[in-house]
Amino acid sequence: MKNQVSIQGKFQYRLSGWKYSAMVRFLLFLVLSILFYVSLMSKIIPPTYDIQLGAVAEKDILAPRAIENAVATEQAKEEAAQHVQLVYKITSLKNEVLMESMFEKLLQINADSEVTLGDKVNIFKTVLPNLVLDHADKQIKGFSDSGQYNEPLLQEMGKKIREQQYRIPEETYYKMPRLSKEDLTAMEPVAKEIVTRLMNDQILDAQTVRAKVPELVNASTLTKSTTREIVQELVRAAITPNKFFDQKGTEEAKGHARDNVKPVFINKNEILVKKGDTITDEMYQRLSGLELLKDQSSNWPKIGLLLIVVMLSLVIFIFVKQSRLSVSHNNAQLLMLVLIVLINIFGMKLFSLVQNLDYPYIGFLAPTALGAMLITILLDMNLAFIAAVLFSVLASIIFNTDHLQPFDFRYGLFTLAASFAAIFSIQRASQRSSILKAGMIVALFGMALVASLLLIEDHSSKKEMLFALSFTVGGGLLTAVFVIGLLPFFEVAFGILSPLKLVELSNPNHPLLRKLLTETPGTYHHSVMVGNLAEAAAESIGADGLLCRVGAYYHDIGKTKRPIYFIENQTNMENPHDKMDPALSKSIIVAHARDGVEMLKEYHLPKPIRDIAEQHHGTTLLQFFYHKAKKLSEAEGDDKPIEESDYRYPGPKAQSKEAAIVGIADCVEAAVRSLRNPTLEQIDTMVRKIIKNRLDDGQFNECDLTIKELDQVAKTLNETLHGIFHSRIEYPSDLQAQAHSQTSGMKRE
């Protein structure tokens, strides 16, 4: 029943929202068709003109004299306003007074011997956060009474202070009642000094400043680890932003900027009426002396263009529908495809505007291979080939200067060759510099094709050939530049993890990986090993191995918040879980997945990486602490049963093959590492046991891993582990003797 609910929830999830809406899908293909039609309309359909009052101008009309352009003037005012820097106000919130209040409460409550330990903890949980808010409200009220700041700014202060309020960890509250009066007396001046020092800076983001607290506390005179820890948390709670956005001040500055803008004039012979503008009475009076021809055009060219557009759209529709790509059901990726097509067509149209008889080959400067390169990197190589053919058809029409024929095969052939060269050269790119190399290859292929075409025509001058070849080189470089510039936009806007982005995220110099290495070297080594295992396993079943490897690097980043509570980081020290309640231990261990997701969000890592960090444990059971809790309950004679669900990870279960594989590799690596001198049989048994347990526990119910794929994953993990642990595997006695004999013989020789 549980599995059925999970499957049903997954089905509803996939069908809900615009990303999987059939109507949205239809509209996107309609937009694509309209885009094709509009981009080709000016080249296929003969222009008509109807200059009448209330009509729409179908061509640019030049101004006979200098005229003020009210629209441009207003636009200039808006641009001036947009360039105004945001206004911020720095306030003095006197948080050292807040620190005094905190310690007064600590002394007062700890001194009351009639209050139990548990009640003190509950009091601290309520009183300390309220002290922060009460202090902030008091300061803001004082500012309001003095009239020092405007009301929107005061509201912004209250909002930001509440949004960035620090949440003291649960375990810290349990340590506070054990503080003696001497401890609090020693802690207070240290805490006040640190708060005063930090609050002297301009603080827009309190979290950034709170990161400096541990270093300052460790450099203080406090010697006890408990007092240092509690001071650290209290100081973090007392740190609030003191730099706030002033909406009213910003609007006033923008108003001054608008007032200082001078009127914009349209000079003589500049555009007075743009194509598409409605002819107003004022325009009509100005244009009354202009004679324009009104003609009824034939509808046959429109019908012909419509048929071309339908065929182009059908090519994409049929390919996408029959493919197994995610774009076949994910409207977000279809939208990205439409945007790429739009950008590529826009680039071609832009260069076609400056194409004339003096520079007939300027169309070779257009980055026509831009779309094919982006589709290869972000979507799929085969789809890029289909798009390249479509772009070649569009280019042959858009860059056609011979109105006797609707197509110019030279630009179509050039676009096709350049796009194919781009696809072949970029398909396995793993660095941003590879895009520039691909651009050079596009330029070389384009030069060879253009040179051959001009030689075949045999009537181009050396100057024309030089211009054409120069434009071709420029087009290849422009293609690379635009791809490099647009790629981050698509990666961020659509959550795309391209191979280039994944390679960048795998760099050890990334702040999070550097933090993992320096603060938790044991976890870092574990993550690297998991990455190697997960990548090999994923590639063996056709999943994204690079995503698995990079996701594994970050999957345990949450352990950096409490590193000593995890076994791989406990070197030459006592395990703190030995003296802790199993429920508290479970909360700490489980929290690393949630903490990891929060850290990854803070550093803006893509969602697939965050999903792996969140889902790699699924809803598995923490067996050690579960059984420990049961034993303690039995020993204490507690009749209340220990629920297994209380000792499981909160999930969700793995939603993708990659998340499931990282979870398996994580468990396998930790389990095999715990074995002393593992044998081949032990490794094989351990790997298959872990996979079977997870399968029986329903951890793969929400991802599309098959039994056959799980078997292949097990085989690959075994092969990889055999290579990693080969030097640690003990030989059987007969092989040991044989190996010793061969070694002795080699030494004698």
Cβ contacts of 274 within 8 Å, gap of 6 or more: 57, 60
Domain boundaries in the chain? 88-245, 301-487, 500-736
Cβ contacts of 428 within 8 Å, gap of 6 or more: none
The pTM (predicted TM-score) of the whole model is: 0.52
Phi/psi of residue 51, each to 5°?
-95, 95
Q: With contact defined as beta carbons under 8 Å apart, do 718 and 687 qualify? A: yes
- The Cα 730–Cα 539 span in angstroms is 30
Name the nearest CA neighbour of 350 among 367, 370, 338, 375: 367
Q: Which fold has domain 500-736?
A: Hypothetical protein af1432 (1.10.3210)
Peptide bond into 152 cis (omega under 30): no
Phi-psi region of 304 (alpha: psi -120 to 50; beta: other; left: phi over 0): alpha
pLDDT of the residue at 497: 74
Name the nearest CA neighbour of 668 among 632, 608, 720: 720
- The Cα 458–Cα 456 span in angstroms is 5
pLDDT of the residue at 5: 39
Residue 165's SS3 state is coil
- Chain-centre distance of CA 578, in angstroms? 39
Which overall architecture, per CATH, does domain 301-487 show?
Orthogonal Bundle (1.10)
Phi/psi of residue 136, each to 5°?
-65, -45
- The Cα 747–Cα 749 span in angstroms is 5
pLDDT of the residue at 715: 92
Single-letter code of the amino acid located at 387: A
pLDDT of the residue at 713: 92
Average pLDDT, consecutive stretches of 10 residues, N- to C-terminus, the chain (749 residues): 43 56 87 88 61 64 52 78 81 82 85 82 84 83 79 83 85 84 86 85 85 86 85 85 83 84 63 68 52 48 84 88 80 88 90 70 86 88 90 87 68 90 78 80 88 76 80 88 86 76 84 90 90 91 88 90 81 78 86 90 88 90 83 75 84 90 91 81 89 90 89 91 62 39 31
The enclosing H or E element of 265 equals strand 265-266
